[in-house]
A = this chain, B = another copy of it.
Amino acid sequence: MEFNVDENEKINEEILIQSMSDDDLQAFRNEFMNLHPYDQAQFYSKLEQVDRIKIYHYLSPDELANFFEVLEIDDSDYKDILAGMEPKYAADMLANMYADNAVDVLNKLDKDQVASYLTIMNKEDAQEIKGLLHYEEYTAGSIMTTEFVAISANQTVRSAMYILKNEAPKAETIYYVYVTDDDGRLVGVISLRDLIISSDDTMITDIMFDRIISISVGADQEDAARQMRDYDLLALPVVDFQNHLLGIITVDDIIDVIDEEASDDYSKLAGVSDMDTMDRNPFSAAKKRLPWLIILLFLGMFTASLIGRFENTLSQVSILAVFIPLIAGMAGNTGTQSLAVAVRGIATGELEEMNKMKLIMREAGTGLITGTICGVLVSVVVYVWKGELFLGFLVGISILASLFVATLAGSLVPLVMHRLKIDPAVASGPFITTMNDITSILIYFGLATLFMSYLVH
């Protein structure tokens, strides 16, 4: 026996591949069925279609469902994979998955494909899946499962444990048991831990927790994630507006949501529309990045035309051009910093609790401090370098003003967007950077033109 095996040793791929080429069903199953579903999925995802079809003969639809739920492949590949199975086999597999995961798979298929599988499936399973299919993406409803354990309050721990044992094999989690009234309304929750430590004759109603943390079916999945994180829950009940228990969200799905949303905010800060580009070719990567780049190109042309208006100033004092990237760059950097603080604060919910006015005042103060320090530093350096007092003064004042405006804009823009119910992360880094380029150049050349007489000797 071997323990604590290294990451790469967890799957003995050679045995699996050898047994497949020998078509040795027993040898394959001996090894494969001992693997964790994640490792089964890892192995399966690396196979060619022809080998996958072999696997369908080795495994029952239920056994396939077990790892199909954690498969990590491109969304577009599901269509072909399902088409490679016998329709009845595919439908059985879908029926054997937890309903929320079956819905995830079905959402990646064509409408007719979905309809045909639902027709083959037994009525009850089909009904359950149909019920989940119509929830909008990114809502609590879209990530919930209907396989939970619900009991009535008016019974003992003994009888509750009896129900639990019966439902355990098909429930997605048995670690929370939900208590509902005759109309299916959620009235309490009890953890399996509390059930286990209570004596058999205790009444459920005496030990259930009735200040339930629940989420409405139409709520944003991010809110569900926040609640589960704050309350350290393993599952969160999902209810309709009349408090009927519709389903539960389990913590493993919430971890995926948190990962997704973090990737999403991150990619928007970087100005990439979709980070999911790891295995694509350069054309699809370029296609995802070009929209932003072209918008920014035209904004940049606008910046250029602004500088063009100061061509007269420039041709008289060409040294002015030297400091353009410095001033615009610094404004862009401070703007991105304060944008990131605000967007992340909104995303984690920290900002909800904080006074918005206080944040704006804080950012204004921060911009003033960083602006003054950087401005003074630059003035001194420029004076020492070029020996021109007024030029140093001009660049310093421009830095001060630009940093102040950029820092303030970086926090104001996402706050205003949040108020207008627009995802503040849309005000991505490159966008704020380019906007701040424009303001800082206006400030710099505006001041230079105004005080031209001091610059020309």
Contacts and interface: CB of A to CB of B under 8 A. Distances in A.
Given A186-B4, A318-B318, A378 B301 contact: yes
Interface in A210-267: 210-214, 216, 228-232, 234, 239, 243, 251-252, 254-256, 258-259, 262-263, 265-267
Given A271-B336, A324-B321, A196 B168 contact: yes
Given A271-B336, A370-B293, A329 B354 contact: no
A154 interface: no
Question: Which size bracket describes the interface of A in this complex?
Answer: 35 or more
A204 interface: no
Interface in A16-73: 34-36, 38, 70
Contacts of A275: 340-341, 344
A122 interface: no
Contacts of A321: 307, 314, 318, 320-321, 324
Contact of A4 (B36, B239, B326, B348): B239
Main SS class of interface, A: helix
A437 B4 contact: no
B251 A234 contact: yes
B212 A345 contact: no
A457 to B, nearest CB: 14
3 closest A-B pairs (Cβ-Cβ)?
Answer: A282-B365, A270-B340, A321-B321
13 contacts: A1-B187, A4-B216, A38-B230, A229-B252, A263-B348, A267-B340, A271-B333, A279-B354, A293-B333, A293-B370, A297-B377, A297-B378, A325-B441
